[in-house]
A and B are shown apart, each in its own frame.
Chain A
Amino acid sequence: MKILTPNKVDSFFQLLTQKWDVRLPIVLTDGTRVISSLGDGSIALHGGAVSSKPTAAFFPQHSSVFISVNGLIQEQTTPGLPIFVLGFTDRDLECLRFIDRFFANGLRDDIYFTLRSNAVVAGISGYCGVNGALLQPSSGNCDLEFFWDGCRWLIIPYSGAGNEIVADLPDSAPPEAIEAFKKASTALPDENEKILRQASELLRADRVPDSFWSEIGDRCISCTGCNLACPTCTCFGVQDWRSSKTIERSRMWDSCQLDGFMREASGHNPLGTEALRTRRRIHHKLAADPEKWGDISCFLCGRCDKACPTGIGILAVAKELVARFA
């Protein structure tokens, strides 16, 4: 366990930029906290999960697939420095684990792993949540973890790369700090998790009527924010931009809340209403994914609930569903 005192935070990350493309929680000009590069705002490690999904470091909203010039596919430029990204809460790390497995499954997604393969992922935990609330430590599924004990950052490396990054930091964590970390690591009961599991069971038992989804669907304005904010959503659309000599193929985040997502070539759509699409979104996370992957693919990061302008993020819907049908 290493120590990073608050007065050394800036210089530590600054030094890292020599070898890494450093991304970490920063606060932007209007107070929005995101994961971004040093220099894009002040470092803001405190305040809980950032608003934007940290998995976007490896699966950005828009990325190039290939460029063809005069009919010849151009080699993709070599990526720059490998990515170091800090800011994954324990829930975000679960999301990352889920999509790592998804993108590696079957036809491995080269574009994702171009960014992901050599990256270092750092978790964040401790008493650095909103107003000093505890963020639960991870299960160690990252390269290293930054734990705020109330006075300083304790850094726990889990991988070789993680060890290398903090090698020069002092490792004289006082016993009370280590004790604080151990105590925080004890799993806390989470009422929301219970609700999500109940909702999952209700869906899998087919106990939610269509009329419920019509009500929820009527409140969906198809903004797609739930999908775009979700760290476990992996769907993307593909576009080609053509000019006289070049074709630029790229991909961008897509959304199952959109009519065109499932529309058939004939124009018919098996998911042609907001009700069916909303049902599918929730069903996919809470009922289909558990069967396919063994996990509910919502880890309660809370981003869809914050991004949804009409209050039908996954937890809000799960609560409503449990209240009415459990």
Chain B
Amino acid sequence: MPNFPWQNIALNPLAAFGILLTLGVMGGHIANRIARLPAMTGYVLIGLIIGPASLHILNEDLLRAADLFVNLALGLALFESGRRVDLRWLRAERTLLLSTLTYCLLVFAALYTLLVFAGLDWQTSTTMAAIGMASSPIVILEMMREGRAEGQVSDRLATATALSSLLSLLVFAIALGSAHLFRQQPSADSLLTPAWLILGSSLLGLLAGVLAIALNHWLGHQRQHRTVLLFGLITLLVGLAVMLGTLPSLALLVFGLATRNLRGGESISEPDLLAGSHFFFVAFFVAAGAWLQPQALASHWPLAITYLLLRTGIAMLFWFALAPANCLTRRRGLWLGLALNPLSGGSACC
């Protein structure tokens, strides 16, 4: 009997990525048009259905092959999120800065207390509470893009998201160093680890920012070249940050922040980078759905639900109370608190 190629068929990474994108877009369309849900819900659900936890059309190896696109999507989102932090605005509008810092501290304290109370050790509690401080830049940006959101709620939301991610990463790095300090003999590493993570990442981001501004100026009127340059620098930064053992997420946030706030950086993201990034974002959400493991959630669901509810409750109450001080109506304050909900698990470990 002849042996035909289709008898032992196995998906290669290219075909798998094609399936991931095609089904993702279809899922997003169904969620949006039929269920009136954000398209990203559809992307994630499709990922969950075709991923290793369900139909297993995509296995772990194939998903890892899509890592390049997923990391690039995260990189783009974090860079763009950093660009939403306008230091000049924060100097003029200190209420927003103080509100965000207070909100992050409140969430951290509440989640840490909950997790310790639930019996987790202090290092795990610190790390998980730090993750809980941050809202997901990629989800927030996609939500704003899809809803064509503009105005004070979205401006303050984007700023609060970026600042909360920055704070979360700082606490994450310090927690990592503290774990060294307590688990091993105290050594220089205990101090050097967080210092390297924070300062190394920040320096990388800053250098990338300075380089981007200089090259952008040199390219002059070539808008398309400038966009490609930006994609190139974001990819390079992710790669370098991994190679040097720093935090890519922090480096990217600082990169965005630098290009927004250093002189000459205003035109870096012109035309709007996000408009050309949708392809990567769809890949990211489908892959994120595929990596989900509902079985793991099932064993810890009471704590997980309390964790999420506590976080949501604090966000909504806090921003509702501080709405007038933030130039918002109470109703818009409530929306802002609700919109800060999406968790940022990915940015800490990108």
Chain A complexes with chain B: no
Residues of B bordering A, CB below 8 Å: none
Residues of A bordering B, CB below 8 Å: none
